[in-house]
Amino acid sequence: MLNLRSNVLDRSEILKLYTKGFKTLDNYKIGLEYERLPINSETLQAVDYWGEKGVAACLEQFARLYGWDYIVDDKNVIGLAKEHDTITLEPGSQIEISTKPERSIFELKKKIDKINSALEPILAKNKTILLDYGVSPFSTFKNIHLIPKRRYKIMANYLWGILSDVMMRETAGIQCCIDFKSEEDAMRKFKLANKLIPFMTAMFSNSPIRGGVDTGYKSFRALSWLNTDNDRCGFAGKISEEFSFEDYIEIVMKTPMIFIQRNGQPIAINGDITFEEYMNEGYGGVLPTLSDYELQANLYFPEVRLRNFIEIRNHDCVGGDLKYAILAIYKGIFYNINAIYEVEELFKHLQYKDFSELRYNIPKLGLKAVVKNTSVLDYARNIVNIAEKALKDEQMGETLFLQSVKEYLDKGMSPADVIIKKWNGVWNKDLRKMINYLTQGL
């Protein structure tokens, strides 16, 4: 056994990664990570990384025109950065925009609109559409290549589960990031976010058609996460009443390791040891560092992930103001103490097993799922009403962003329900008509 020095890495250093996130209420912001699917406007197939009109070429053209810096991996462009904003590539060339968090959703929208306005002419010239949708509508993982990012090759070889390749190469989602003021506040929000996520997944389900056919699921994307590496996906812990930063760290440390980085090179571990064992014994003569823990935490993919903020993850990509409705719901609830209490009261009769069962039922049933004799649709309407009341109190005009989701809920539908109805009706299973609807509203 390797004799590790006690000062190499200890848990107090790891704990500081989370406690450094404490913010005062007037410094609370909200963040957005927005992934979309690149498809060819003529063939409707997924656009590859490589080639004269590939995704990498589009990024390089954008960088030259607007002065963004390259993010590279072994000399291959895998993203762009400018100040605090990034445009990066997910494993199957999905394009993700991540901007600096802002106090106002209007400010985030302004940034996204500006980036999109600059991107669109370049993409159009290369016959590429970025689709606001949760799963590849035509191409499947068998003909979607991984981008040349070394960690993705290791992950693809390691991650187990019958739909892990679908998750990596075919799916696109939206993630929301929120702040906390203390450990107690963080844990309260963390537990509540885990309870909210099945209802949010149902409201924003938007991936029923995959491979050109109706899958029978409202969110095939959410299904893919159910069937990807249960060691690192799902709920982090049992969202119990007693939960702390230390509890979260313990879960991350007991998760098998995939790889570590040294001198810019990934070293595959492939689940041979957990991070806890690595802390105690090292690996092949390599000693643990704080950066190793940060990487391990980033390779842990729960529904809600704890960092020096809270990252809420399981929403299909949606278009228009719907993506900002996701942010508005979370902002309204988590930045208003009365709203937090109201949602806790809404869920007080539900147990862990109820939320766990919902996680498995939502991908197929969506808003039609039932828990304790109450429909998910009824819960969803209550959740949005609580958020709306809180946003009205804040008087920043952000209730505007809830209108899109309210229109769906008034009809008892999610985006997926509308697509399924049209797919089996006026579209007559014509994928081109679905793409026109998603891109132009036609």
Per-residue pLDDT at 435 = 97
The answer to whether the beta carbons of residues 223 and 170 sit under 8 Å apart is no
pTM: 0.96
Q: Which pLDDT tens digit goes with each residue over 333-365?
A: 999 999 999 999 999 999 999 999 999 999 999
Please, are residues 386 and 343 in contact by the beta-carbon 8 Å criterion? yes
C-beta of residue 46 within 8 angstroms of C-beta of residue 38: yes
Per-residue pLDDT of the chain (442 residues; tens, 9 = 90+): 444 554 478 889 999 999 999 999 999 999 999 999 999 999 999 999 999 999 999 999 999 999 999 999 999 999 999 999 999 999 999 999 999 999 999 999 999 999 999 999 999 999 999 999 999 999 999 999 999 999 999 999 999 999 999 999 999 999 999 999 999 999 999 999 999 999 999 999 999 999 999 999 999 999 999 999 999 999 887 676 688 999 999 999 999 999 999 988 899 999 999 999 999 999 988 999 999 999 999 999 999 999 999 999 999 999 999 999 999 999 999 999 999 999 999 999 999 999 999 999 999 999 999 999 999 999 999 999 999 999 999 999 999 999 999 999 999 999 999 999 999 999 999 999 999 999 987 6
Quote the CA–CA distance of 306 and 15 in Å, as a whole number.
12
On whether the CB atoms of residues 119 and 62 are closer than 8 A, the answer is yes
> In angstroms, rounded to a whole number, what is the distance separating the alpha carbons of residues 148 and 107?
33
DSSP state of 398: G
C-alpha distances out from residue 165 to 140, 153, 293, Å: 9, 11, 25
Q: Distance between CA atoms of 246 and 18, rounded to whole angstroms? A: 10
What is the spatial distance between Cα 125 and Cα 105, in angstroms, rounded to a whole number? 30
Instruction: Calculate the alpha carbon distances from 20 to 13, 197, 419 in Å.
Output: 11, 25, 43
Give the number of other CB atoms < 10 A from CB of residue 112: 17
All domains of the chain in start order, with CATH: 11-440 (3.30.590.20)
Q: What are phi and psi of 126, to 5 degrees?
A: -100, 15
Per-residue pLDDT tens for 358-408? Answer: 999 999 999 999 999 999 999 999 999 999 999 999 999 999 999 999 999
Q: Are 243 and 225 in contact (CB under 8 A)?
A: no
Which residue, chain included where needed, has tokens 């996460």? Answer: 225
Q: Quick check: 172 and 36 in contact, CB under 8 A?
A: yes
Q: Which of 106, 103, 113, 104 is nearest to 34 (CA)?
A: 113
Q: What angle do CA 400, 401, 403 make, to 5 degrees?
A: 75
Q: For Cα atoms 332, 335, 341, give the angle at the middle one, nearest 5 degrees.
A: 85
